Amino acid sequence: MGLVAGAVVVLSCLGLMTVMLLEARSLRVTPIAFASRDVPVAFDGLRVAFVSDIHHGPYFSRSRVRTTVRRINALHPDVVVLGGDYVHRDASYIRPVFAELSRLRAPLGVYGVLGNHDHWEGAPETLAAMAAAGILDLDNRGAWLRRDGSRLRLCGVGDLWEDGQDLPDALGGATAGDFVILVTHNPDFVAEIGRAPVDLALAGHTHGGQVTLLGRWAPFVPSRYGQKYRAGLVDEAVPVLVTVGVGSTTPPLRLGAPPEIVLLTLRRG
């Protein structure tokens, strides 16, 4: 390879690295509408801000967490749902991330589940920090959201890799006529529940592959199902909405999978 050709290759690689670093630091809002005949009239138009995989740590500063919280609050959601993996690499990041997340505001509450990284860095510490921040833990439990005499079930399960999953306890007596949202950090769990009485699942974990080819294929997706749960709304027996998340793990790069806050709007239809 000649000197000029070598320089072109080096500059191209540096340019691509710069693009991936910049994309990892961007943050967009992804609006998604989901319609179901089970959505109660009182909840038609409910706005759910869904965020996962913040990974506060060496690559995602506390100031960026604060900015993310401000962006979420500016959307004025009715509910905020957090999909787990709040920290990366060290338990010392747990208290700071929840100090910022405590600023989240939603009239129907802020809810979350734990991810595999939260178990690796300290589940008891994470649960304590969540409680102190006013965030309701949904691991194998749920809550009834109520409005104008109607109800909606928001529930969750423990992380598929590091915890147990008790779906009956999470559903808490929900019937076929109830609209049920299930939060699971790992979307692979949805493939195991068949036609459960769940109308929509929310998941994270995959980061959209983090580095992709034109946003359509990723060489690595942490899932037993390949590209199936990489990102977006997967329409199957239980539809699952997989967010690409906000932060990143090693290396802190993204390509074709820009970080996002999902703004989910429920519609009766």
List, as one string, the DSSP characters of the chain. Answer: --HHHHHHHHHHHHHHHHHHHHHHT--EEEEEEEEETTS-GGGTT-EEEEE----BBTTB-HHHHHHHHHHHHHT--SEEEE-S--B-S-GGGHHHHHHHHTT---TT-EEE---HHHHHHHHHHHHHHHHHTTPEE-TTEEEEEEETTEEEEEEE---TTTS---HHHHHTT--TTS-EEEE-SSGGGGGGS-S-S-SEEEE-SSGGGSB-BTTTB-S--SSTTTTTTSSEEE-SSS-EEE---S---SS---BS---EEEEEEEEE-
Answer whether residue 7 shows pLDDT above 50.
no
Using one digit for the tens of pLDDT, what is the confidence trace for 222-235? Answer: 999 999 999 999 99
Count how many domains the chain has: 1
Answer whether residue 74 shows pLDDT above 90.
yes
pLDDT at 195: 85
Answer whether residue 210 shows pLDDT above 70.
yes
pLDDT at 131: 98
Answer whether residue 265 shows pLDDT above 50.
yes
pLDDT mean over 110-130: 98
Expressed as residue numbers, the domain containing 66 is 3-268
Q: pTM for the complete prediction?
A: 0.94
pLDDT at 163: 98
Which CATH number goes with the domain that contains 40? 3.60.21.10
pLDDT mean over 25-40: 96
Answer whether residue 18 shows pLDDT above 90.
no
Answer whether residue 20 shows pLDDT above 80.
no
